[in-house]
Amino acid sequence: MPSPLYNTASIADMRLRARRRLPRAVFDFIDGAAADELTRMANEAGFARGRLSPRVAVDVSRIDTSVDILGFRSALPLMLAPTGLAGFYWPDGEIAAARAAAKAGIPFCLSTNSVASLEAVAGAVPSVKRWFQLYMLKDRALMWDMVERAEAHGYDTLCLTLDLAVQGRRDRDIRSGFTVPMKLSSASIADFAMRPRWLWGALRRPVAFGNFASVKGLGALSVAQFVGTLFDPTVDWAQVAEVRKRWRGPMVIKGILNPDDARRCVELGAQGVIVSNHGGRQLDQVPASIEALPQIADAVAGRAAVYLDGGVRRGTDLIKARALGADACLIGRPFLWGLSAAGEPGVDRVIDIFREELAIALALLGHPVFSAIRGDILVP
């Protein structure tokens, strides 16, 4: 039987489906970004630049979309990015997304700020290639405990996010009064009442920060208050080096936009960097990820892996990112839109859209092997 999502043609279509199911404040928390959202828009618009040069008369009967991601043969050059509160958009959302990633043969990165705890996800989806994303916490005992829990539960790569020393100022969330859990007001009650299917799920699985179960009395906080209470704004390179020393597996540093910072990451022993502006959610007016990528790839110079996220919406975006130096990309909002629209089948569909778009693009470019793509595929 065809999936009821078969006529959801694109990631943009999936976004509209998510908008129909989610309360406005929740949709805006996912969709929105800092200030005027110029960087969020530039992330997507950046991929519209440059053209791909097709070759003809090439045998494209076998397409290979797979890539090596730190020793794992990923079926696609794609990972599910760490995103907080996935279980708020769909009951057990982190587990649904991890299952979809496992089926597709791509890595899944669990956020520090997940609703399901890292133990719950590992227990429910033992087969997924899992990364754990860490924020530096003020309470180092709590942080090292989380790191040890992640290691003990089979998260083999640590993704340390460094672009959230403080929370960015997101106008949409300030306007809606978004808190976790949501505070009830006449506006939020009216918003929820319009979305009974979401509300039913949210009532069955109350939202909480699953990895912080030991921290009592957090109450209904805005995400900015949560970050201000728990996250450490004093982090410097020495403290990053300390994390590198204590974590035994591969470590990837996320939130890099500057080539000198990328060099520092490599020097302190990171196996990869993620070129990212947090989907434009932190500081507006910083470069689009795809604009920052070439300089960072040059600075890293093959000494570590280079990944990119921000604005990846099409199979051809994966090809452009590869041409400009990325080994693979991560997606944040696209899979959250799929999750919010339809749960696990929604995430399956999002990954399928990328798979189909990528395979068709590789065939029509006369480049059957994704990993063989070089810069010369791009024309200005």
Ligand X SMILES: Cc1cc2nc3c(=O)[nH]c(=O)nc-3n(C[C@H](O)[C@H](O)[C@H](O)COP(=O)(O)O)c2cc1C
Q: Which of residues 208-267 bind ligand X (CB under 6 A)?
A: 254
Nearer to ligand X, 129 or 367 (CB): 129
Pairing relation of β-strands 78-80 and 72-74? unpaired
Closest CA to 326 of 240, 252, 249, 250: 252
CA atoms of 33 and 279, how far apart (whole Å):
7
81 binds ligand X (CB under 6 A): yes
User: Facing residues of 307 across strands?
Assistant: 274, 328
- Is residue 168 within 8 A of residue 37, CB to CB? The reply is no
By beta-carbon proximity to ligand X, the closer residue of 55 and 175 is 175
Give residue 323's identity as a one-letter amino acid code.
A
Site string for ligand X, 144-163 (x = CB under 6 A): -----------------x--
Among 8, 43, 117, 167, the residue binding ligand X under the rule CB under 6 A is 43
The distance of closest approach from Cβ of residue 240 to ligand X in the complex, given in angstroms and rounded to an integer, is 15
Tell me the C-alpha distance between 298 and 338, whole Å: 34
Polymer length of the chain: 380
- Contact range with ligand X by CB under 6 A, out of 204-212, 224-232, 307-315, 348-356: 307-315
Whichever of 109 and 297 has its CB closer to ligand X, that residue is: 109
111 binds ligand X (CB under 6 A): yes
Is 23 a binding residue for ligand X by CB under 6 A? The answer is no
For 188, the token pair is: 């939020």
Place of tokens 């990451």: 265
- Asked if 278 touches ligand X (CB under 6 A), the answer is yes
Q: Does 270 interact with ligand X (rule: CB under 6 A)?
A: no
Task: Kindly name the residue from 278, 314, 322, 349 that is annotated as catalytic.
Answer: 278
The stretch near ligand X (CB under 6 A) out of 124-132, 148-156, 278-286, 346-354 is: 278-286
Q: Are 290 and 311 in contact (CB under 8 A)?
A: yes
What is the rounded distance in angstroms from the CA atom of residue 221 to the CA atom of residue 268?
A: 35
DSSP code per residue over 238-288: HHHHHHHHH--S-EEEEEE--HHHHHHHHHTT-SEEEE--GGGTS-TTSPP
Q: Closest distance between ligand X and the C-beta of residue 26, in Å?
A: 9
272: tokens are: 């990869």
Q: Which two tokens stand for residue 303?
A: 């000494």
Residue 128 burial (10 A CB sphere; 0-12, 13-18, 19+)? buried
Judged by CB under 6 A, the chain residues 310 through 349 that form the site for ligand X are 310-312, 331-334, 336
Angle at alpha carbon of residue 137, lines to 175 and 27, rounded to 5°? 30
From candidates 8, 157, 179, 276, binder to ligand X by CB under 6 A? 276
Residue pair 177/25 in contact by the 8 Å Cβ criterion:
yes
Residue closer to ligand X by CB (options 70, 85) is 85
Nearer to ligand X, 253 or 266 (CB): 253
Nearer to ligand X, 30 or 361 (CB): 30
Q: Assess 309 for contact with ligand X (CB under 6 A).
A: yes
Q: Which is nearer to ligand X, 40 or 244 (CB)?
A: 40
Residue 203 Cβ, how far from ligand X at the closest point, in Å? 21
Does residue 153 have an active-site annotation?
no
Q: How many angstroms separate the CA atoms of 177 and 179, rounded?
A: 6
Residue nearest to ligand X (CB): 332
Least distance between ligand X and beta carbon 342 (Å): 17
Which positions are catalytic?
278
Interacting residues toward ligand X by CB under 6 A:
30, 43, 81-84, 111, 113, 133, 161, 254, 276, 278-279, 281, 309-312, 331-334, 336
